Structure 1
């Protein structure tokens, strides 16, 4: 018997946290039981298997290790699936302390401080102690290989979109036309540049710009709106709990980040039928094909972003082509069903390995009895 424990830090709104919820909702295998653990947050309402879910603390690490140790011991956990580097360290401590044959999986969602400042330590930990690494884009996979991580350990599994939740919806002609951004409000996501684009488009009275999300830079972005004098052009709407509704209301979505791995909002926007103009960062070009199902720009040029907005909103044929091709791409390459199946395949590799080892042990015992 071999069961799986899936863990993440906390269930606040975010990419890794939504990924955790998708696994919690959809993982199912006739030979594996699944258990889950995380600190509480707003996404707890999305959990469907609460009998198999354990609450962790945000700060008390010893308490968390005690809880996770109990889950592993009582439920024959063979795979510890970490969704953050902190959870990887939890797994390593538990494996050492319990002397269990615990296989640690790591889904890498973002750039970590360890790989940035101590890449040799990061490489040694992953190569020596991690059984499987799931990269959410080919870009991230090759970044890991460039750091010296063994390629045989890494499998790319794209984050999947629930095509029912993010169902396609035909857009109605509306005035004013809505340009949106949906992301944590932070320097990394670069909402400041989004405001520069809004300012560059101020000569278009029928364009309104919407900032969805919350984060550490909320107040500074609000002040920047005032400083630019574009209060009539920009709306800040705060945290969004139903991203599919926000995305459907937008005519165009912008992605302006300084750095990305593979943002879910790109796939979600493609799924609902909202065309995207994005900076080319990380694995975004694995979803958006420039000029076919969206626009990819290589530089943060507010004039170029403004030009592409004008082009999309004035060219019905091109806009409809982008929408059609984007939805098709998500259906064929980025469905939630594919993500779940490929993840189960990774678990099954370990399960089958265990069966082979068990069979070999039995054969050896029989041969010893014979002698």
Structure 2
């Protein structure tokens, strides 16, 4: 069959190791600096971080995004483009690794130049850096806990660092109830944590093509049910389980095709699995997609096979684009999707349930259409990005003792 072609990574560029600035200290609105450590193309949090600054001025705040990245990382160029598209300023800060003692000075300079009032961290390293930079520049500390999904020793060490740091933060935002439960277990006081679930721009993620039109644009020629999967190719995403389920469906005579967008450490093993199961004409690994909207509009069903998550933006995006969802009952998903109403939920790691759910939606087009309509309304009612940013601005008000 003919597989679609997608744009991949951008050409690497040389990056400065000093942030530039055009700060005007007299500006009345308090300045929020979003700070994030990233390698490659980033992940789900980028959708929240880069889309935040354009929503803040009307809520009384100015904002920029400082990204810490390796000097030779080609992914930062694509993130720059995403920031430009989102109307956000991206401040590039070269990070030479764990022993880079210049980071605190660099970031303190950014904070002084921008007259930063709120440091908004988005990962374990920037949680620690916030405490160190505040010793040089007085400011309030806010962080968003996007989730801890990896179980490696390194990830466990980073999590331990955050567990220490968050006790000194003015507010920690959890993006799903299970993360909030984790923070509570860590002893983070209720007055210093809150739940603000992920959300998306419902205007940007609105269906603009029929499935047939989207497939034509992708040059996708296939019959049967088209499944889409998106995310980092890492063990916790469970793509091996999804591929195995597709293999089982094919062996049972269910006409199904799977397109997976993303890159990561599991790429080689997933390719081997596809070859071993004889699924080269049924499963395609597309690599990193800079914009997944066309793929989601081309798919009949989006499948989240994750073993661990927070509240993944990609599920919100699929629902907003009226693409029916099959998902594991992971983290914040059961709060988002009522099974049988907005999509189908399956138990984590249950192979037979995944196969059955795919077969059910393949056989019932009317159910797919119903899920699509209900899912879109769910996102509009409860997960609109503008409403989320109003809650975030209220957190900023609170930590600055404004709006009391």
Q: What TM-score, normalized to structure 2?
A: 0.80
- In the TM superposition, what whole-angstrom CA distance separates every residue of 1:144-170 from its partner, at most 9, and x where no partner exists? 112222122112112221112210357
Q: Which has the higher helix share?
A: 1
Per the alignment, in what secondary structure is the counterpart of residue 201 of structure 1? helix
In 2: Cα distance, 1:303 partner to 1:119 partner: 34
Aligned to 1:252: 301
- Correspondence for 1:3 among 8, 28, 31: 31
Measured after TM superposition, the shift of residue 282 of structure 1 is: 0.9
Gaps of 5+ in 2: 1-27, 70-75, 213-221
Larger Rg over CA atoms: 1
Distance 1:201 1:337, change over 3 A: same
Distance 1:279 1:31, change over 3 A: closer
In 2: Cα distance, 1:313 partner to 1:26 partner: 40
Measured after TM superposition, the shift of residue 124 of structure 1 is: 4.1
- In the TM superposition, what whole-angstrom CA distance separates every residue of 1:223-277 from its partner, at most 9, and x where no partner exists? 1111112212111111111111111111111111111111111111111011111
| 8 Å Cα contact 1:240-1:246 kept in structure 2 | no
Q: Indicate the larger mover: 281-290 or 11-20.
A: 11-20
Give the 5 Å matches for 1:313-328.
313-328=362-377
Aligned to 2:196: 157
Per the alignment, in what secondary structure is the counterpart of residue 240 of structure 1? coil
In 2: Cα distance, 1:41 partner to 1:83 partner: 20
Distance 1:216 1:44, change over 3 A: same
Q: Does 1:44 align with 2:93?
A: no
Higher relative contact order (CA 8 A, sep 6+): 2
Q: Does 1:14 align with 2:43?
A: yes
In 1: Cα distance, 2:120 partner to 2:322 partner: 33
Distance 1:59 1:115, change over 3 A: closer
| 8 Å Cα contact 1:10-1:17 kept in structure 2 | no
- In the TM superposition, what whole-angstrom CA distance separates every residue of 1:130-186 from its partner, at most 9, and x where no partner exists? 001011112211221122221221121122211122103575578332111111111
Q: What TM-score, normalized to structure 1?
A: 0.87
Measured after TM superposition, the shift of residue 74 of structure 1 is: 2.4
| 8 Å Cα contact 2:130-2:141 kept in structure 1 | yes
Aligned to 1:360: none
In 1: Cα distance, 2:161 partner to 2:360 partner: 48
Gaps of 5+ in 1: 357-371
Distance 1:207 1:130, change over 3 A: same
